[in-house]
Structure 1
Amino acid sequence: MIESCSKKRMLLAIVLLGGLTLLVLILESHWTSVGARSYPTVSGKNNSSDHGCWLHEEYQIVEPCHLCTDFEIASKSNFVCVPTHFKEVIQCHISGKASRSCDKVTWLEERNFWIFEGVMFVIGVISTTTVFARQKVLDRRMMRRIQRQLANSV
């Protein structure tokens, strides 16, 4: 069945599937809730009574999610840095300041994803161009061979 499709139909199908993929990725990134993540450990400056204070108190994010220092990771002095190597500082309204482990920085992950997609697109374009150029060369060789055979038999 795929052999019966013309180049235009195949190209149109690929472009439509690529567009659909991008649409799904964009919609998924907008619908993904940041608050649904679980943060395993906490290390507060006051005492251990603020363990998970963001779960039962209102809070504000003082410092957004950022990479822990190498010292914090190696020495395990800040326990929230151990599972993900990222932390954010929050201010609970009753308990005070606390740190919680967080997933990787969103903008960094999105940037890496789009860089990967761009590189894959460039590689795809180069590969397609190479295939078409090679096909032209082989077609020309075949035509010359046929012309020589016809010229010799006449």
Structure 2
Amino acid sequence: MLVSCESLESQEGSSIVSRCRDRARTQDSGPRGLLLLLTLIYFFMLNIGLGESRTSSEGKDSVNTITATPCWQVEQFVVAEECQKCTLFEAKTQGACIRTGFVEKINCPESNKEEYKSCRSVLVEETLFWKFEGAVMSLSLVFAVLVILRQRALDRLASEKVRKQIESI
């Protein structure tokens, strides 16, 4: 028999009533505690976001950002030397060589600057592509052989089962 807590509240002094009140108090604090926790997390994340936006906008001068950007990002450019592998010395001294290990010389006619730009070698990209294709093809061949072997094993088990069923008749 199911008795609700509201019907028991009329009977004062009952231990069941006190249990119902205790249960109601703990149930009410759960959602409030969760809501409080979620609110605190939200304000913490909002505070971090505002702090990052303040620090990213502070200390940056518009004059510094224009001079810091390479000319090939701002204006039209002409490739003076094609993409080539950096030497050991260039890899240590030039920032453009660090990313890919290849660099090309750029001329910017508007600002009359010569700069170096990181680039990707066509030959290196092509060899990486064919290595990837070879790996994919070899893996597909291995898995095809595994599927065939598994299918043969399952067919053998099925024929053994059928043979045993026929022998038992």
Q: TM-score scaled to structure 2, two decimals?
A: 0.46
Larger-gyration structure (1/2): 2
Kindly indicate which of the two structures has a greater share of residues assigned to helix. Answer: 2
Which structure ranks higher in relative contact order (CA pairs < 8 Å, sequence separation ≥ 6)?
A: 1
